[in-house]
Amino acid sequence: AQMQTVGIRGRFFSFIRAPKGPGDSGSYLYLRDGMLVIQDGRIVAIGPTNEVEGTLPPGTIVTHYERELILPGFIDTHIHFPQTQVIASYGTQLLDWLTRYTFVEEQKYYDPAHCTRQAAFFLDELLRNGTTTAVAYGSVHPQSVDAFFTESEERGTCMIAGKVMMNRNAPLGLTDTVETSYADSKTLIERWHKRGRQRYAVTPRFAITSTQAQLEAAGALLREFPDVYMQTHLSENLDEIAFVQSLFPDSKNYTDVYDRVGLLGPRSLFGHCIHLNEEELQRMADTSSVAVFCPTSNLFIGSGLFDMASTEKSKRPVRVGLGTDVGGGTSYSMLQTAAEAYKVLQLKGQNLPPATAFYMMTRGNADLLSMGGEIGSLECGCFADFVVLDSKATPAMLHRMETIGDMIEEELFVLMTLGDDRAVRATYVQGRKLHDRNLA
């Protein structure tokens, strides 16, 4: 096959390392007139246009974005693919929300045709919002994960997902058993983990819907397949925590329920982590486990305000990711998710500088997944997964940008505060344009 070379010209922004605070311009690469060169879906060169242009093979097609800002595709580290018709459900907190809305919708995923339609919608909606990689929960049905990975493979996206394991405290149509959850997860791992860009996450829903034996089965899967991921929910809601303590009276705390069966570790993602005590945070830090901050969900379901400063406390830093948690979350947009994260931290007397927010959405989340060098930045060797952002997408943004000009961190703050899917001009995966706002 011929190696086709493609060029993209425009303004580029990509992190080199985590920013230490506002104005840390050494943490990123900002090219005002840059050129990105793509071969076989990967980045093979990036630099100032006047340096790179001359190296292109004759006849190379170059797409020029004159006013946009090009960033690595966003990474969402916590989202539920079967909840596209749960988002915006009225009036309840976590346990009632699950029973009244979520468990009703998720039962529809026994039907493979439904799974395929919903997976296609879900992935296209992520791309419309500039998200090119997500860590997603399926439903309890293995066919939901087959449909999800099939649609992802068709688009060439890098996705992480798993079949939810749940064998109690849920409707019959939504429960598996210790044996079937283990066997079905294992089959899915063997079928999908590391097939192309797809990756598997062992997915016990949370302690309330799994017996001790099922959590042990999840731990056994992690020992059998050491490079798969693990995702679950932890310490989201006070009633949930009390229920977990009554179900597992011997455990020291909620985190300990997972810890005792070997679910903590550097590839383990714990959604929410709002109400952890110091002992729990210490175990999270000791095991390099990841806490995922889901601000729109935590506000919408009324779960609480994530304390990022104490979670990341330098004496025992817990790694923190950022996720939408749709359908508990209210937006597919990582820009809007960052905006809500900023507001939550404001209420905590903390700050979220725009550079830190964009680092979390891109390189930070990639590093949490041990995928730096593959996704999350625009370095040579990375997949050409990127988003073309328009900081002047709406009248309010255009008007605000008049006072900003070429100040990149201020522009990023406008993008996260006022931007959403309207600010996504285009999304590319492996160098192929999969979304174009002006053609949609």
C-alpha 124/C-alpha 130 separation (Å) is 10
Looking at beta carbons only, is 205 or 363 nearer to ligand GUN?
205
Cross-strand partners of 385: none
* Residue 361: contacted member of ligand GUN, Zn ion, none (CB under 5 to 8 Å, by partner type): none
Beta-carbon contacts of 284 under 8 Å, excluding residues fewer than 6 positions away, are 255, 264, 270, 273, 276, 291, 318
Looking at beta carbons only, is 31 or 301 nearer to ligand GUN?
301
Size of the site for ligand GUN (CB under 6 A): 11
Interacting residue with ligand GUN among 84, 102, 214, 231 (CB under 6 A): 102
Smallest separation, CB 279 to ligand GUN (Å): 22
Q: Which amino acid is at 167?
A: N
80 binds ligand GUN (CB under 6 A): yes
**Quick one: CA dihedral 417, 420, 423, 424, positive or negative?**
positive
Interacting residue with ligand GUN among 105, 151, 184, 236 (CB under 6 A): 236
Secondary structure letter of residue 383 according to DSSP: B
Q: What is the dihedral of CA 370, 375, 377, 378, to 10 degrees?
A: 140
Rule CB under 5 A: which of 244-283 touch Zn ion?
A: 271
* Residue 236: contacted member of ligand GUN, Zn ion, none (CB under 5 to 8 Å, by partner type): ligand GUN
Secondary structure letter of residue 98 according to DSSP: I
First-to-last CA distance in the chain?
31
Other C-beta atoms lying within 10 Å of the C-beta of residue 309: 13
In which residue are the tokens 């969402």 written? 76
Q: Which of 147, 137, 159, 221 is nearest to 184 (CA)?
A: 221
Q: How far is CA 113 from CA 108, 118, 151, 173, in A?
A: 10, 9, 12, 17
Smallest separation, CB 292 to Zn ion (Å): 8
Looking at beta carbons only, is 10 or 328 nearer to ligand GUN?
328
Interface stretch with ligand GUN, choices 94-102, 149-157, 348-356, 416-424 (CB under 6 A) = 94-102
Q: Which of 413, 416, 436 is nearest to 426 (CA)?
A: 436
Cross-strand partners of 428: 386, 433
Beta-carbon contacts of 226 under 8 Å, excluding residues fewer than 6 positions away, are none
**260: three-class secondary structure by DSSP:** coil
Rule CB under 5 A: which of 321-380 touch Zn ion?
A: 325
Looking at beta carbons only, is 94 or 318 nearer to ligand GUN?
94
Cβ–Cβ under 8 Å, residues 265 and 289: yes
Interface map 200-229 toward ligand GUN (x if CB under 6 A)? -----xx-----------------------
Q: Dig out the tokens for 114 from the structure.
A: 């439904």
Looking at beta carbons only, is 200 or 300 nearer to Zn ion?
300
Looking at beta carbons only, is 13 or 229 nearer to Zn ion?
229
Smallest separation, CB 66 to Zn ion (Å): 39
254 binds ligand GUN (CB under 6 A): no
Interface map 321-360 toward ligand GUN (x if CB under 6 A)? ----x--x--------------------------------
233 binds ligand GUN (CB under 6 A): yes
163 binds ligand GUN (CB under 6 A): no
- Contact residues for Zn ion (CB under 5 A)? 271, 325
- Contact residues for ligand GUN (CB under 6 A)? 80, 94, 98, 102, 205-206, 233, 236, 297, 325, 328
